[in-house]
Amino acid sequence: MIEQRLKKVPAPLHSLAVLLAEMSNSRYIDDQDMHACKKQLHDLAVGDEKRLFEPLIQTADYLLGEELAPVHKYMVCHASSYPYSQGYVRRPFRTAEASQQINLLIQKTVSLLIMEKEQFRLSEYLGVPNYSLSDNYQIRLVLAEHQRQRGVYRAVGNRGV
pLDDT in tens, 72-117: 998 888 877 777 666 666 676 667 776 778 888 898 899 889 888 8
Has residue 35 been placed in a domain?
Answer: yes
Specify if 153 maps to a domain: no
Task: Enumerate the β-bridge partners of residue 155.
Answer: 158
Closest alpha carbon to 63 in 103, 121, 110, 124: 110
Structural domain contains residue 125:
no
Pick the closest to residue 145 from 110, 119, 108, 113 (CA basis).
108
| Number of domains observed in the structure of the chain | 1
Residue 114's pLDDT is 87
On average, the pLDDT of the chain sits at 79
Asked, for residue 126, whether it belongs to a domain, the answer is no
Check whether 154 has a pLDDT greater than 60.
no
89 within domain boundaries? yes
pLDDT of the residue at 15: 95
Mean pLDDT calculated for residue range 8-23: 94
Domain-located, residue 32: yes
| Residue-number span of the structural domain to which 75 is assigned | 2-120
| Number of alpha carbons in the 13 Å side-chain half-sphere of residue 61 | 11
Contacts 24+ apart (CB under 8 A), 120-127: 121/67, 122/67, 122/147, 122/153, 123/159, 126/153, 126/156, 126/157, 126/159, 127/157, 127/159
Tell whether the model's pLDDT for residue 36 goes beyond 90: yes
pLDDT at residue 40, as a whole number: 94
pLDDT beyond 90 at 129:
no
pLDDT of 41 reads 93
Q: Is residue 36 in some structural domain?
A: yes
- The pLDDT, as a whole number, for residue 159 is 46
Asked if residue 25 belongs to a domain, the reply is yes
